[in-house]
């Protein structure tokens, strides 16, 4: 009975992924016979789970949409993944710390002892690493509104705070991307006929429009790649003890992809751009500039130029001793 119950729970977990699988595929996953799988499916149906039989090409069995899953049907690896996610999500979303803590407690209480041991081994604390240049956590309610508009394909009206002050925009939202500990919305703006990558913390959603739109193909075919290669995505220089800029002999999309969070990239020509960034020391700032391995000119301020000269002297001395 114990083996049968464990197998049936595993079958329910497989169905919980939303996949449609044949009896043969299910048997392979469970390490059981097709006859045993069909018997376990009957057991789930008797327990009130709606297991649908899908006919035709690509058919098989799947969990009905109206089915309500039990609180926990996780294997050990899934339990670990959820436990880690619940502990780290407050670093990205504000107003969710208490809810995530309660959800983690509920999850652990509902787990079998073996899964609970695995999950509790991954008790983590998230702390800021100064190389991450993170933004403040985003309001969870705003993410919910924007995410809902993306899911329903509804036109979104937002108040956007930019360099020129607040403006009201009409957007077709397509994707939310978290990159460098910052939330970005990938959206098409019909009024200007262009794609935009926008910092979510600069957006305040208005009342839902209820108007639908058709999906479009995101530039580069990948929303994350689009965000990383967009230089005017709304970033602003982070507050640091030292801040400077330089003209780099690289295209803006290249620098935008590899520049640290908390920096800005300004398009100058197709082969050059201005990078503005900060660090905790002038030497650290100079070192960040050198990581781009490209020509550097028009360096500001004077403290940054002096830091680069000092680094050059130290490097020359080090190479001299090495010889």
CATH number, domain with residue 57? 1.10.10.10
Neighbours of 303 (CB within 10 A): 14
Do 254 and 310 lie in one domain? The reply is yes
Q: Is 161 exposed, middle or buried (0-12, 13-18, 19+ CB in 10 A)?
A: middle
Q: Which two tokens stand for residue 73?
A: 């049907």
Q: Is 47 within a domain?
A: yes
Residue 71: the pLDDT is 44
Residue 172: the pLDDT is 97
Q: Which residue has the higher pLDDT, 100 or 173?
A: 173
Residue 141: the pLDDT is 83
Do 256 and 318 lie in one domain? The reply is yes
Among 101-110, 160-169, 193-202, 215-224, the range scoring the smallest mean pLDDT is 101-110
Please give the mean pLDDT across all residues of the chain.
Answer: 83
Q: Which residue has the higher pLDDT, 93 or 279?
A: 279
Q: Which residue has the higher pLDDT, 55 or 111?
A: 55
Quote the percentage of the chain above a pLDDT of 90: 38
Q: Is 180 within a domain?
A: yes
Give the SS3 label for residue 97.
helix
Residue 1: the pLDDT is 45
Q: Is 125 within a domain?
A: no
Q: Is 71 within a domain?
A: no
* pLDDT over 80 at 37, yes or no: yes
Q: Which residue has the higher pLDDT, 274 or 40?
A: 274
Give the residue from 63, 93, 109 where a domain finishes.
63
Do 164 and 206 lie in one domain? The reply is yes
The domain in which residue 261 lies consists of 242-322
Q: How far apart are CA 182 and CA 159, in angstroms?
A: 19
Q: Which residue has the higher pLDDT, 250 or 106?
A: 250
Q: Is 152 exposed, middle or buried (0-12, 13-18, 19+ CB in 10 A)?
A: exposed
Q: Is 315 within a domain?
A: yes
Q: Which two tokens stand for residue 183?
A: 């939330």
Give the SS3 label for residue 7.
helix
* pLDDT over 90 at 5, yes or no: no
Do 115 and 154 lie in one domain? The reply is no
Q: Is 195 within a domain?
A: yes
Average pLDDT, integer, range 139-156: 89
Q: What is the CATH number of the domain that holds 287?
A: 3.30.70.250
* pLDDT over 90 at 157, yes or no: yes
Using CA atoms, how far residue 206 sits from 146, 157, 183, 244, in Å, is: 10, 5, 18, 37
Neighbours of 295 (CB within 10 A): 11
16-30, 68-82, 133-147, 193-207: which is most confident: 193-207
Q: How far apart are CA 291 and CA 91, in angstroms?
A: 28
Q: Is 70 within a domain?
A: no
Do 222 and 146 lie in one domain? The reply is yes
| E strand or H helix at 114 | helix 113-120
* pLDDT over 80 at 223, yes or no: yes
Q: Is 10 within a domain?
A: yes
Classify strands 138-139 and 93-94 as parallel, antiparallel or unpaired.
parallel
Helix crossing, 76-88 with 113-120: angle to 10°? Answer: 40
**Residue ranges with strand state E in the chain:** 51-54, 60-63, 93-94, 138-139, 156-162, 165-179, 182-189, 194-199, 203-205, 242-248, 264-269, 272-279, 296-300
**Number of domains the chain contains:** 4
Task: Kindly report, residue by residue over 58-103, the tens digit of the pLDDT.
Answer: 788 888 765 554 545 566 677 777 777 777 777 666 666 777 777 7
Q: Which residue has the higher pLDDT, 132 or 6?
A: 6
């Amino acid at each position: 009975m114990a083996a049968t119950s464990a197998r049936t729970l595993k079958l329910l977990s497989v169905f919980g992924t939303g996949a449609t699988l044949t009896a043969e595929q299910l048997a392979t996953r469970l390490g059981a016979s097709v006859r045993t799988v069909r018997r376990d499916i009957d057991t789930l149906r008797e327990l009130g789970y709606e297991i649908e039989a899908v006919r035709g090409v690509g058919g098989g069995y799947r969990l009905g949409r109206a089915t309500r899953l039990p609180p926990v049907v996780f294997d050990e690896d899934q339990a670990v993944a959820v436990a880690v996610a619940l502990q780290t999500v407050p670093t990205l979303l504000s107003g969710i710390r208490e809810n995530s803590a309660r959800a983690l407690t509920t999850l652990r209480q509902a787990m079998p002892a073996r899964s609970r041991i695995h999950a509790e081994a991954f008790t983590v604390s998230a702390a800021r690493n100064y190389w991450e240049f993170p933004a403040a956590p985003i309001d969870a309610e705003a993410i919910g509104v924007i995410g809902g508009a993306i899911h329903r394909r509804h036109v979104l009206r937002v108040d956007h705070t930019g360099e020129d002050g607040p403006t009201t925009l009409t957007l077709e939202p397509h994707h939310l991307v978290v990159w460098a500990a910052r939330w970005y919305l990938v959206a098409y703006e019909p009024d200007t006929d262009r794609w935009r990558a926008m910092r979510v913390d600069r957006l305040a959603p208005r009342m839902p429009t209820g108007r639908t739109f058709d999906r479009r193909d995101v530039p580069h075919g990948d929303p994350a790649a689009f965000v990383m290669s967009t230089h005017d995505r709304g970033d602003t220089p982070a507050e640091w003890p030292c801040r400077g800029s330089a003209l780099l002999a690289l295209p803006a999309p290249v620098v935008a992809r590899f520049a640290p969070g908390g920096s800005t990239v300004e398009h100058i020509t197709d082969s050059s751009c201005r990078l503005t960034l900060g660090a905790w020391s002038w030497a650290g700032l100079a070192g960040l500039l050198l990581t781009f391995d490209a020509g550097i000119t028009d360096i500001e301020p004077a403290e940054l130029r002096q830091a680069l000269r000092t680094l050059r002297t130290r490097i020359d001395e080090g190479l001299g001793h090495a010889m």
